[in-house]
Amino acid sequence: MINILFEELPDAVEVSGKFYKIVTDFRDWIAFFDMMADTEFDQKQKMSTALQWFTDEIPQNIVGAYNALIDFAACSGIRKNPENPHKNETVSEIPALSWLYYSVYVLGAFRQVYGINLTRIDFMHWWEFSALFEALPDDTPIKKRIAYRQIKISDIKDKERRKQVLKIKKAVAFPHEPVSAEKTGAIFSF
């Protein structure tokens, strides 16, 4: 683990004992997450597309390369894994963040809190961006939306509060395309 305050942020990942240069700008990594969330891609296509994040040379070990990119995306070099990953059982399993749908709130929060216009800066390392994003105050609209999306309705005992939270969750839900009859059939087939 590195100290982001004084150690240089990496521009390469290690695969099979060798370092390979990758893109590191936050925009590229937001695009990476969008690509990973794209349901049009299967896992093999995602692995293949992810190799585009290597700048000079693509490692021979494709699975190792893909895993190294996933670790970089997760900022594993600056974040310690939680000691008890099941510590907060009340958090739901639905995605709490979509870079696509919440981009305006991210833009606004960085401008509001840090005075940074993300559309005008030339470069910001993904890990720096991620650290700043994580440190955003809980009262920013983006952090409030994330918090509401993570609430498990079944854990709310008070009927009025549950109704209020359901209304908010509906307001902050990610839009989605209508599910076709074919997809619906596939979902319910056993």
Which secondary-structure segment (H or E) carries 72?
helix 62-73
In the chain, where are the structural domains located?
12-73, 103-171
Nearest residue to 127 (alpha-carbon basis) of 9, 28, 5: 9
pLDDT over 70 percentage in the chain? 84
Which secondary-structure segment (H or E) carries 147?
helix 141-150
Could you give the CA distance from residue 126 to residue 75 in angstroms, rounded to a whole number? 8
Residue by residue, pLDDT tens for the chain (190 residues) are 899 999 999 999 999 999 999 999 999 999 999 999 888 999 999 999 999 999 999 999 999 999 999 999 999 988 765 544 444 444 445 678 888 888 999 999 999 999 999 999 999 999 999 999 999 999 999 999 999 888 888 888 998 998 988 888 888 887 755 444 444 344 443 3
Residues belonging to the chain:
190
What pTM was computed for the model? 0.80
Q: Where are the alpha helices (DSSP H) in the chain?
A: 26-37, 43-50, 62-73, 103-109, 126-134, 141-150, 159-171, 181-188
